[in-house]
Amino acid sequence: MKRESAIANKCVPVSSSAGDRGSISLVLIVRNEEAGLRAILPRIDRTIFQECLAVDGHSTDQTDTVLQDYGIPRHLQQERGLGAAMLEARHHVKSHSFIFFHPDGNEDPADLPRMARLLREGHQFVVASRMIQGARNEEDHQWLKWRKFGNQGFALAANLLFASGGNRTSDVTNGFRGITCAAFDRMQLTSRDLTMDYQMVIRALKLGIPITEFPTCESARIAGETNFPSVSTGLSELRLLWREVRMGRRQVA
C-alpha cells in the first residue's frame, strides 16, 4: 500500500470527551504481525474510535513501519507477556472504554462496530464469543477440537465456581473483547501472561460485572504459528483457576 493512501486513513477523533461513554480506544496487541496488519488494517473503520494505538512486544519484522504508515502510535512493551501488554495498554488509553484487537487473522474486524456500539449503549464488558449459537471456531471443521473443548471446560469451571445472578461466560480465551476503564480497574488484574483473558472473565463473575457476548466467526491466522501451544496453555489456565479459587469466590485482590 502506498504511504499517502495509508496516511489518509488515519484515526479521526470522535466528538466526545474522555469521560463520555461514546469515546472508545482501539488497542492493537502485536508482535511480528506485519502480514496481518497489512491485510487487516484496510478493513478497519478507525473513524469510530476516539484513538487508535498499538502495544508491541518488540517485533523484529516490519510491524513498526506498517503502524507508522497508518499513523498509529506504537508503544513498546516494558514487561514480557500478553497480560503485561494488556495492563500497559490501560495506562495509554485516554477514552471511556477500549477494545483489544489482535490483527493476526483470527478476529473479524467487521465485528468492531458492533462491539463499539454495545459499549456506547452502556455494556461494561463485551466478549466476542466463538462458542455460542451463530459463532464459528477455527476447529469446528475438525473431529477432535482440543482447543475448543478445553475452552468450554474452563468456561464451565468458571461458571460453576464463580457465577451468580445469571451472569455467565462461554468463551474464556478469546482476546477480542471490549471493556470500560472503570470495569477494568475494578478487576484489579494481576496476570502478566496468556492467562489474562481467563482472569478477566473470572474477576467479572466474582464482582458481578455483566458479561455481554455476541457470536463471532474465527478465521485462520494469516501468517505464522500461534504463540500459545495447547498443553502449556491449558496448564497455565489451570494454575490461574486454582489461584482464583484459593483467593475466594468474591475476593479479587
Q: Tell me the C-alpha to C-alpha distance, in Å, between residue 186 and each of 76, 180, 247.
A: 25, 10, 16
How far apart, in whole angstroms, are the C-alpha atoms of residue 43 and residue 111?
11
pLDDT at 250 exceeding the cut of 50? yes
The pTM for the full model equals: 0.89
Q: Amino acid letter at 231?
A: V
> How many whole angstroms separate alpha carbon 67 and alpha carbon 193?
24
Look at residue 140 in the predicted model and tell me its pLDDT.
60
Residue 229 is predicted with a pLDDT of 62
Grid coordinates belonging to 46: 478507525
pLDDT in tens, 41-50: 999 999 999 9
pLDDT at 10 over 50: no
The CA dihedral of 138, 30, 252, 198, to the nearest 10 degrees, is 10
Query: Using the 8-state DSSP alphabet, how is residue 208 labeled?
Result: T
pLDDT-above-90 percentage for the chain: 77
Whether pLDDT at 7 is above 60 = no
Q: What is d(CA 227, CA 31) in angstroms, rounded to the nearest whole number?
A: 10
pLDDT greater than 90 at residue 183: yes
What integer best gives the mean pLDDT of the chain?
89
Q: Which of 5, 61, 8 has the alpha carbon at shortest distance from 37?
A: 61
pLDDT in tens, 86-113: 999 999 999 999 999 999 999 999 999 9
Tell me the one-letter amino acid at 228: F
**For the chain, how are helix, strand and coil distributed in percent, rounded to 5?**
40, 15, 45
The mean pLDDT of 164-191, rounded to a whole number, is 97
Indicate the domain borders of the chain. 3-247
Give pLDDT, residue 235.
92
Mean pLDDT of 128-147: 82
What mean pLDDT comes out for the span 185-197? 97
pLDDT of residue 230: 64
- Tens-digit pLDDT profile for residues 61-78: 999 999 999 999 999 999
Fold of 3-247: Spore Coat Polysaccharide Biosynthesis Protein SpsA; Chain A (3.90.550)
